[in-house]
Amino acid sequence: MSKQVPPATPEINRLRAAAALIPIIESGLVTSTLSIERAATMASFCEWTVEQPPADPEAIRLAATVMSGMKRLKAVLSSVT
C-alpha cells in the first residue's frame, strides 16, 4: 500500500524547504561555491522554520531533521569563520 502524503500547509512547506536547503548549504560550503555570508543567511531561514513548536507528526519529524541539520551546519560555519 502506498504511503499517503499529508496535506501541504505553510508550516510543512517551510519545514520541507528548510530540510532540503541544508544539504545544499553544506555542499556549497564544501565546494566553496557558496559564500559564508550567503550560507549564514540561508541557515537563518532554516533556524526560523523551527522557532515555533510543530503540531502535527509530519511537522515534528521534519523539524527534527532540520534541527539535526542545523547542528551540523553550525559546526561547519563556526570552523570556517
Average pLDDT over all residues of the chain: 91
Q: Model pTM?
A: 0.86
* Tens of pLDDT, residues 39-71: 999 999 999 999 998 888 999 999 999 999 999
Other CB atoms within 10 A of residue 77 CB: 16
Other CB atoms within 10 A of residue 69 CB: 20
Q: How many CA atoms lie within 13 A of 58 on its CB side?
A: 14
pLDDT band at 1 (very low <50, low <70, confident <90, very high): low
Please name the helix (run of DSSP H) or strand (run of DSSP E) that holds residue 30, with its range, or none.
helix 10-30
The CA distance from 5 to 2, in Å, is 9
Tell me the Cα Rg of the chain: 14
* Tens of pLDDT, residues 4-28: 776 789 999 999 999 999 999 999 9
